[in-house]
Amino acid sequence: MIDIGVNLTNKRFHKDLDTVLDNAKAAGLTGMIITATDLASSSEAVALAQTAPDFLYATTGIHPHDASSFNGRSLAALKKLARSPQVKALGECGLDFNRNYSTPAEQEYAFVQQLELAVELQLPVFMHERDANRRFIELLTPYRTQLPNAVLHCFTGDESDLQRALELDLHIGITGWICDERRGSELIELVKLIPDNRLMIETDAPYLLPRSLRPKPKSSRNEPKYLPHIAETIAQARDQPVALLIRNSIKTSKDFFSI
């Protein structure tokens, strides 16, 4: 299995990262994409990925929450980091109009600048969108045919959001959100609509611990080792054998990230 989105540079992994990685391998993971959200985590993600070049890979980018910090120096720094062979996508970038830690205007500027950099470098984009689907699609559309690949990670939208994403030929990342009986009920139905060659799986660890894990973990920290549980939940929702879902997601992820 390949976890396409895990925040391994998060401070909640600092004390026992080696154990987390060992547990992931023991759970059957063969690769992980380390998600970057700002310049510091981008640099850390690249450095960490270089310690296990056949297992760990990285993104470099600035999350919409941090878009207010984006400037010309940010773009130059991201471009330099992206030269690393371990960097497989630009991101996490996009729009989040739910919390607006950065203003919509700041988010849009940072998103477009990173899309242009991805086109220049011919890297896929790893994207975030929350409560901003129409504007997200509007900004992305002019660049889509120039990008080698694009994934909307941690999809939590409604059916119209999903259809717009699929019409734009986006890949879709599904997390443990689908394991939440309170918030994930709609996603259980929508995941059936995602083509096999557009679906990828992720934990978004340390966030989004699957609520349906039994026995319930003592810690609220999500880990890559829980990816098999997410895969089982998705497979059940799609009425697919879990082995087939995993095989398809591995192929799709390898093709997407060129690994």
The enclosing domain of 66 has a CATH number of 3.20.20.140
Residue 75 CA to residue 168 CA, distance in Å, equals: 26
Residue 182 pLDDT? 86
| Domain interval for residue 90 | 2-257
Q: Which residues of the chain have pLDDT under 50?
A: none
Residue 72 pLDDT? 85
For the chain, how many structural domains are there in total?
1
Handedness of CA 7, 8, 11, 15 (dihedral sign): positive
Residue 184 CA to residue 205 CA, distance in Å, equals: 17
Identify any residues that bridge with 98 across adjacent strands, giving them in sequence order: none
Per-residue model confidence as pLDDT tens digits over 79-97: 999 999 999 999 999 999 9
Neighbour-count burial of 35, counting CB atoms closer than 10 A to its CB (0-12 exposed, 13-18 middle, 19+ buried) = buried
Q: Among 183, 186, 138, which residue's Cα sits nearest to residue 164?
A: 138
Residue 100 pLDDT? 87
Identify any residues that bridge with 151 across adjacent strands, giving them in sequence order: 126, 171
Residue 188 pLDDT? 95
